[in-house]
Amino acid sequence: MAVSDLVTRQAFADAPQRGAATRLLEDERWLAAVLLLPTVVLLGLFIAYPFVEGVWLAVTNATVGVPGKFVGLANFEALWNDSIFRTAVYNTFIYTAVATVFKLGLGLWLALLLNRNFRGKAFTRAFILLPFIIPTVLSTFAWKWMFDPTFSVINWTLFHFGLIHSRINWLGEPDLALISVIIVNVWRGVPFFAISLLAGLQTINPELEEAAAIDGARAWQRFWHVTWPLLLPVTMVVMLFSIIQTFADFQLVYVLTGGGPANATQLFATYAYQIGVGTGLLSQGAAVSLAMFPFLLIVVVVQLLYIRRVEVH
């Protein structure tokens, strides 16, 4: 005991002679600064700086290779009078609204189905997520091939069930093209909704449903009065996430239709790409992108407020 006591005392005596860096990092404010530095640098360089640059581009007349001069709000004025831009705005809102409603509805339905006990449940759940994890453009190409008017397997199936009599040009007709694009977006988004909502459902104590059943509530009453209110917080967050992603979607439309036919599926992002990268009008492209910002900001603020409210409760 005596020997080890000596060792201990020595360690204690040595203690205050630590290096300056060690002592600095024991102060949590300094440690926090050091830990956050890489993140702040990367996000500053590639999010904050591009944002400022984007705002600057949007108020100049820069094109590829030409710095451009300050032109005020001329770009936005031009957009205001641009009928294609207006179509894109209209399409984006329709696309987002319709796709979100279907993703939520079908996703919730699928989640409720998966929440029951059946053989092969884990297996099914794993497979169902595939549309979400497989790179979007690659799976979208499969859909493009399935939509091909001449070789379409969908047409073949519908024809043989007697539902159609002539070929359907899925991506070639304006209204149908928008519907087709929405179908693919819903296809990709449903697994995300289903799995997230399933996670939400699994946190709900089954005794609550059973108690409601004993109280005489029918299945849909149990859902409406017990399950749905408890699921609402998860639903809200998932939906707001999805709205942002859908609103700013690019790859799906770019691959399926490129915004056509006749701009019938043109969205903010595809139009920005077409003008900014395709035509090289950087400033106008940046202006189209930035036009998304007010709506995104509203969604983000709603989400922040909602999360805060949920945390308070």
Partner 1 sequence: MAPVVIRNLNKKYNEVHAVKGVNLEIRDREFVVLVGPSGCGKTTTLRMVAGLESITSGEVLIGDTVVNALPPMDRDIAMVFQNYALYPHMSVYDNMAFGLKMRRFARAEIDRRVRHAADILGIEDYLSRKPRQLSGGQRQRVALGRAIVRHPQVFLFDEPLSNLDAKLRVQMRVELKKIHDRLGTTAIYVTHDQVEAMTLGDRVVVMKDGVVQQVGEPLDLYNAPANRFVAGFLGSPAMNFVRVALVENGGMVQAVGDGVRLALPGATAVRLRRHLGEEVTLGVRPEDLRIVAAEAANGLSFEAVVEVVERLGSEILLDLKVGAGSMVAAVEPTVQAKVREHLRLALNPERLHFFDSRSEAAI
Partner 2 sequence: MIEGAKWRRWVYFYIPLSAFIIWLLFPFYWMLVTSVRPDRELYRPWMAPNYTPFWTLHPTLRHITDLLTGTLFIRWMANTLFIACVATLISLFCGILAGYALSRLKFRFAGALGTGIFITYLVPQTLLFIPLANIIRNFHLGDTPWALILTYPTFLIPFCTWLLMGYFKAIPRELEECARIDGATRWKAMLYIIMPIAVPGILSAGIFAFTLSWNEYIYALVFLSSAEQKTVSVGVTSELVRGDVFYWGQLMAGALLGSIPVAFIYSFFVEYYVAGLTGSVKG
Alpha carbon of residue 237 to chain centroid? 11
Torsional sign, CA 11, 13, 19, 23: positive
Q: How far is the CB of 144 from partner 2 (least distance, A)?
A: 8
Q: How far is the CB of 23 from partner 2 (least distance, A)?
A: 9
**Interface with partner 2, residue 139, by CB under 8 A:** yes
Give residues 157-216 in contact with partner 2 (rule: CB under 8 A). 157, 159, 167, 187, 190-192, 195-196, 199, 209-210, 213
Closest CA to 265 of 155, 152, 182: 182
**Interface with partner 1, residue 18, by CB under 8 A:** yes
Q: Which does 135 bind (CB under 5 to 8 A by kind): partner 1, partner 2, none?
A: partner 2
Contacts of 60 (CB under 8 A, 6+ apart): 67, 68, 69, 70, 71, 283
Q: How far is the CB of 229 from partner 2 (least distance, A)?
A: 16
Closest CA to 192 of 244, 257, 248, 251: 244
| CB-based contact 64:280 (threshold 8 Å) | yes
Judge if the upstream peptide bond of residue 261 is cis by omega within 30 degrees of 0: yes
| CB-based contact 85:271 (threshold 8 Å) | yes
Q: Which long-range contacts (CB under 8 A, 24 or more apart) does 82-87 make?
A: 84/263, 84/266, 84/271, 85/271, 85/288, 85/291, 87/263, 87/264, 87/266
Q: Which does 66 bind (CB under 5 to 8 A by kind): partner 2, partner 1, none?
A: none
By beta-carbon proximity to partner 1, the closer residue of 13 and 52 is 13
Applying CB under 8 A, the span of 2-10, 81-89, 99-107, 243-251 interacting with partner 1 comes to 2-10
By beta-carbon proximity to partner 1, the closer residue of 6 and 47 is 6
**Interface with partner 1, residue 12, by CB under 8 A:** yes
**Interface with partner 1, residue 16, by CB under 8 A:** yes
Applying CB under 8 A, the span of 76-84, 97-105, 170-178, 232-240 interacting with partner 2 comes to 232-240
Closest CA to 223 of 238, 209, 234: 209
Applying CB under 8 A, the span of 18-26, 229-237, 244-252, 305-313 interacting with partner 1 comes to 18-26
Torsional sign, CA 63, 68, 72, 78: negative
**Interface with partner 2, residue 118, by CB under 8 A:** yes
Give residues 214-253 in contact with partner 1 (rule: CB under 8 A). none
**Interface with partner 1, residue 20, by CB under 8 A:** no
By beta-carbon proximity to partner 2, the closer residue of 6 and 11 is 11
**Interface with partner 1, residue 2, by CB under 8 A:** no
**Interface with partner 2, residue 127, by CB under 8 A:** yes
Contacts of 71 (CB under 8 A, 6+ apart): 59, 60, 61, 283
**Interface with partner 1, residue 8, by CB under 8 A:** yes
Residue at 311: amino acid letter: E
Among 51, 80, 90, 228, binds partner 2 (CB under 8 A): 51
Residues that bind partner 1 (CB under 8 A): 1, 4-5, 7-8, 11-12, 15-16, 18, 23, 26
